[in-house]
Amino acid sequence: MSIRWLTETIYVAPSVIDKVGIFTSTSLLAGDMVYQVKGQLVEGEFSEVFARMHPNWIGVCKEMWLDPEPKNPMIFTNHSCEPNAIVSEGLRVIALKPIMADEEILMDYSTTEIDPYWSMACTCNSPTCRKTIQAFQFLPSEIRHLYQPYMLTALFTDMLAMMTAY
């Protein structure tokens, strides 16, 4: 497979996690913007059927998702239980820690979903792999506390409201 450039610094290439992933051609520091997520908003109700319908969508608040544009780097971003990036305010993907040039950009998919019906098998093979990825509220509390300062405020606020409602 040849390298396909999505932005000036982000490219698609073979990944050990999945067939392809996205990589950065430049080193990034923690907090640096990696790319912007762009796409169309989609509304729907949480359900088992709906949870299977949106493999590339990312949650922005309760029962609202963003369907990334076909050439947006989000489409090619793989999951890892040890991520180096996260979707933050303004739908900006930022580095959680320093990322070296030509390193794969990885995020924890649990940080982009609060649908209680959503889950998927994990194939990241990291030492801390959870084997099954679920919505944010099902993460262990110590992991939720690590991610919370970087998450979309509306998504986190809606998740808290859902947790206290039960």
| pLDDT block averages, 10 residues each, the chain of length 166 | 82 94 97 96 88 83 92 95 96 97 97 92 94 94 94 86 71
- How many residues are listed for the chain in this entry? 166
- Do 6 and 21 meet the contact criterion of CB atoms below 8 Å apart? no
- Residue 58 is encoded by which pair of tokens? 């990312």
CB atoms within 10 A of CB 125: 10
pTM: 0.91
Q: Is 30 exposed, middle or buried (0-12, 13-18, 19+ CB in 10 A)?
A: exposed
Task: End-to-end CA distance of the chain: give it in Å, rounded.
Answer: 48
